[in-house]
Amino acid sequence: MELSAFPRFLFTVFDRFTVLAVFFTVFALALDFMKRRKKCQNYPPGPWGLPFIGNIHQVDLSNPHLSFAKLRRKYGNVVSLQFGWTNTVILNGYETLKEALVKKAKDFADRPQLTVYEDLWKNIGEGIIFARYGDWWREQRKFSLLTLRNFGVGKKSLEMRIAEEAEFLNKEFENEKGHPFNPQFLITCATSNIICSIVFGERFEYRDERFLDLLHMLEESFELEGAFWGQVLNAFPFIRHFPGPHNKIFENQKKIVNFVQEIVTEHKKCWDPNEPRDFIDAFFAEEEKMKHVPKTSFLESKMMGTVLNLFSAGTETTSTTLRWALLYMMLHPELQSKVHEEIDRVVGKERKPTLEDREEMPYTNAVIHETQRLGNIAPISLPHQTFRDTEVMGYTIPKGTTIIPNLTSAMFDEKVWSTPHQFNPGHFLNAKGKFVKPEAFIPFSAGHRVCLGEQLAKTELFLFFTSMLQHFTFHLPENELKPKYTEAKYGITLSPLPYRLCAKLR
């Protein structure tokens, strides 16, 4: 090639690269536009998003419920967002949530497929909590509710089991001899043992290192899966193929599954279809009965998902609520004294509390409910997905849209609660001091996807809380900074930051 022709050659090559670059840029932007364009008329309003990432930069992924509150003030109770290419609608306010989750329960009963659980679901099934809406989900939810009842939920036998576990917990508190300690994993062990006794047929000692490791992994997983890295993974699935902190999610999932799988394997060696000991045995029995039914939902390969759902949800949510409860009692000693007075009057200091006492203990009941409201442990619930084209509050929402029920907007609604950002048991008491529950109180969500373990959680909260307050006065350690209940750690649940307390025998 002549030297004089070389510049022309370079210009031609660069010109072609420029044309290709422009073409691919235009193509990518056009694809992005097609992916992110509104699918229907009268779609809910929302902020403009950026190409490819949508609105993810406009949401604080460490506290999304706070970002949603700001968006609500600007765009109203139904707000549209896009996380990557995922069309998402945020539902705010009790009336909006009621219309969608209760009045149009089927329309909003589906679940989206989440990248953060993709590998997990391939191996063990989606489980009852994350399963798509349909025949499998309906059959398994019905079976799960019936089996939970058969193993004590709503019965005296479960009350006795919780009362016994409360004794173990109180003994651990007593062993601290009034010195400062972090109650987190003692409480988590206690609540986990209740669901473990129902699902696995056994409880674990509070010093069992393998069990404690499992609970630590579970806590870490709840934080990672629900907060920044989990949400980024769901918005941009390709990230899972790269190294980074998000891989800890998959490592923990494998370890937790292995723990549960070992228990299931042991069960299979010695289960009796005529005398099921727990949920796992009951599932095996139903699987045997249904083995000749075409397309049965009772398959061992799919059981693990539900077992893991029950164990993880039954452990984390109740323990987190009780940790909030002790924090509020420690920070409000005058309210703690009122609980003590009511317990002494109704239960006394020797008899164990029972669920029947709840009717005679409106103030204690109000404190527990106010803990659930202000603690707000499921601020945006779990994501739903529209099962079919539908409408809510006059807006059209297409089938397959991801729905985020912003429960925070109901639990802190200034039109319902007189002091929404303060701990005030009076929110649940009428002028005569009787317990009342406003309709906007929905910590367990509502509709078809209402929490499967709601009744179990209510029973545990009352009996554990009342038993702890019957035996102890909780106070701040000397010379330690006062914890701030306005600060919390966001994950799948909203939990208090680690704190220490002193438990003084009454």
What is the pLDDT, as a whole number, of residue 228?
85
Query: Does residue 22 have a pLDDT over 80?
Result: no
CA 341 – CA 355 distance, rounded (Å): 18
Annotate 184-197 with DSSP letters as a single string: HHHHHHHHHHHHHH
CA 250 – CA 231 distance, rounded (Å): 14
As a whole number of Å, the end-to-end CA separation of the chain is 97
Cβ(169)–Cβ(190) below 8 Å: yes
- Residue 332 amino acid letter: H
Please give the DSSP secondary-structure letter assigned to residue 152: T
Domain annotation covers residue 456: yes
Buried b (16+ CB within 10 A) or exposed e, 437-458: ebebbbbbbbbbbebbbebbbb
Domain annotation covers residue 291: yes
Domain annotation covers residue 27: no
Task: Convert the pLDDT of each residue in 201-257 to its tens digit.
Answer: 999 999 999 999 999 999 998 888 888 888 888 888 888 888 888 888 889 999 999
Q: How far from 253 is each of 72, 212, 276, 312, 378, CA to CA, in Å?
A: 35, 16, 28, 11, 21
Q: How far from 204 is each of 160, 208, 254, CA to CA, in Å?
A: 17, 7, 21
Domain annotation covers residue 30: no
CA 298 – CA 396 distance, rounded (Å): 37
Domain annotation covers residue 15: no
Task: Convert the pLDDT of each residue in 37-46 to its tens digit.
Answer: 555 789 999 9
User: What average pLDDT score do residues 248-269 get?
Assistant: 90
Task: Convert the pLDDT of each residue in 48-83 to its tens digit.
Answer: 999 989 999 999 988 999 999 999 999 999 999 999
CA 126 – CA 311 distance, rounded (Å): 14
Task: Convert the pLDDT of each residue in 321-364 to its tens digit.
Answer: 999 999 999 999 999 999 999 999 999 988 999 999 999 999 99
Classify residue 139 by burial, with Cβ atoms within 10 Å: 0-12, 13-18, 19+. Answer: middle
Cβ(92)–Cβ(411) below 8 Å: no
What is the pLDDT, as a whole number, of residue 4?
55
Domain annotation covers residue 216: yes
Tell me the sheet residues that pair with 475: 502
Element containing residue 106 per DSSP (H, E):
none
Q: How far from 172 is each of 14, 67, 175, 354, 468, CA to CA, in Å?
A: 74, 40, 5, 21, 11
Could you tell me the two tokens for 75? 């765009």
Across 231-235, 365-369, 450-454, which has the greatest mean pLDDT? 365-369
Cβ(63)–Cβ(406) below 8 Å: no
C-beta atoms surrounding 152 within 10 Å? 19
Per the structure, how many domains does the chain have? 1
What is the pLDDT, as a whole number, of residue 308?
92
Q: How far from 408 is each of 88, 184, 325, 373, CA to CA, in Å?
A: 17, 24, 18, 9
Q: Which long-range contacts (CB under 8 A, 24 or more apart) does 394-400 make?
A: 394/42, 395/42, 395/43, 395/44, 395/78, 396/40, 396/41, 396/42, 396/43, 397/43, 397/44, 397/89, 398/39, 398/40, 398/87, 400/87
What is the pLDDT, as a whole number, of residue 24?
44
CATH number, position 443 = 1.10.630.10
Buried b (16+ CB within 10 A) or exposed e, 398-427: eeebbbbbbbbbbbbbeebbeeeeebbbeb
Query: Does residue 442 have a pLDDT over 80?
Result: yes
What is the pLDDT, as a whole number, of residue 295?
85
Cβ(495)–Cβ(488) below 8 Å: yes
User: What mean pLDDT is reported for the chain?
Assistant: 90
Point out the least confidently predicted range of 20-29, 111-120, 474-483: 20-29
What is the pLDDT, as a whole number, of residue 268?
87
Contacts of 159 (CB under 8 A, 6+ apart): 354, 355, 459, 463
Domain annotation covers residue 182: yes
Cβ(460)–Cβ(194) below 8 Å: yes
CA 146 – CA 123 distance, rounded (Å): 26
CA 89 – CA 397 distance, rounded (Å): 8
Query: Does residue 475 have a pLDDT over 80?
Result: yes
Task: Convert the pLDDT of each residue in 276-302 to its tens digit.
Answer: 999 999 999 999 999 898 889 998 888
Kindly give the interhelix angle for 279-289 and 184-199, rounded to the nearest 10 degrees.
Answer: 30
Give the structural domain span for 43: 38-505
pLDDT band at 27 (very low <50, low <70, confident <90, very high): very low
CA 203 – CA 206 distance, rounded (Å): 9
Please give the DSSP secondary-structure letter assigned to residue 343: H
Percent of the chain scoring above 70 in pLDDT:
92
Could you tell me the two tokens for 31? 């694809």
Domain annotation covers residue 28: no
